[in-house]
Amino acid sequence: MDTNWLPNLEMPGARAKHQAIGLSIREAISGGELAAGDRLPPVRDVAWRLGVTPGTVARAYKDLVDQEVLVSGVGRGTFVAGAARPAYPPAGLPYMMVATPPDILNLSTAQVAHVGQGEVLHRLMLELPPPVGEDYVRYPVPEDDLVLRRFMAERSGGEDHGQIEADDVVLTAGAQQALVTALMTVLHGPRPVILTEELSYPGIRHAAALMRAEIRGVPLDDEGPLPEAFDRIAAETGAQVFVTSANAHNPTTIQTSRARREAVAEIVRARGMQILEDDCFGYAQAGLPGYRLLVPERAWVATSLSKAISPDLRLGALIGTPGRTIAARTAAQQQFFGIPRPVRELVMRAMETGAAEEIQARVKAKTQERVETTRAALGRFGIVTRDFVPFGWLPMPRGWRASSFLQAAERQCIRLKPADEFALIDGRAPNAVRLAFTAVAEDEAYAGALRRLAALLDKPVVTMEA
pLDDT in tens, the chain (466 residues): 556 788 988 877 666 788 889 888 988 887 788 888 888 998 988 999 898 888 899 889 988 887 788 988 766 789 898 744 333 443 334 445 556 666 789 999 889 999 999 999 999 999 998 999 888 999 988 889 999 999 999 999 888 899 999 999 999 999 999 999 999 999 999 889 999 999 998 899 889 988 999 999 999 999 999 999 999 999 999 999 999 999 999 999 999 999 999 999 999 999 999 999 999 886 666 689 999 999 999 999 999 999 999 999 999 999 998 888 999 999 998 898 999 999 999 999 999 999 999 999 999 999 999 999 999 999 999 999 999 999 999 999 999 999 889 989 988 899 999 998 898 877 788 999 999 999 999 999 999 999 999 999 998 876 443 3
CA distance 62 to 71: 9
Amino acid of residue 211: M
How, if at all, do strands 105-106 and 77-80 pair? unpaired
How, if at all, do strands 274-278 and 299-304 pair? parallel
Amino acid of residue 61: Y
Contacts of the segment 309-312: beta carbons below 8 A, 24+ positions apart: 309/112, 309/117, 309/350, 309/356, 309/359, 309/360, 309/363, 310/112, 310/117, 310/118, 310/121, 310/359, 311/111, 311/112, 311/174
CA distance 31 to 463: 38
Q: What is the model's pTM? A: 0.78
CA distance 241 to 231: 12
**Roughly what angle, to the nearest 10 degrees, separates helices 326-336 and 175-186?**
120
β strands within 113-265, DSSP E: 169-172, 193-197, 214-218, 220-221, 224-225, 241-244
Reading phi first (left if > 0) and then psi (alpha if -120 to 50, else beta), residue 338 is in left
Q: Is 92 exposed, middle or buried (0-12, 13-18, 19+ CB in 10 A)?
A: middle
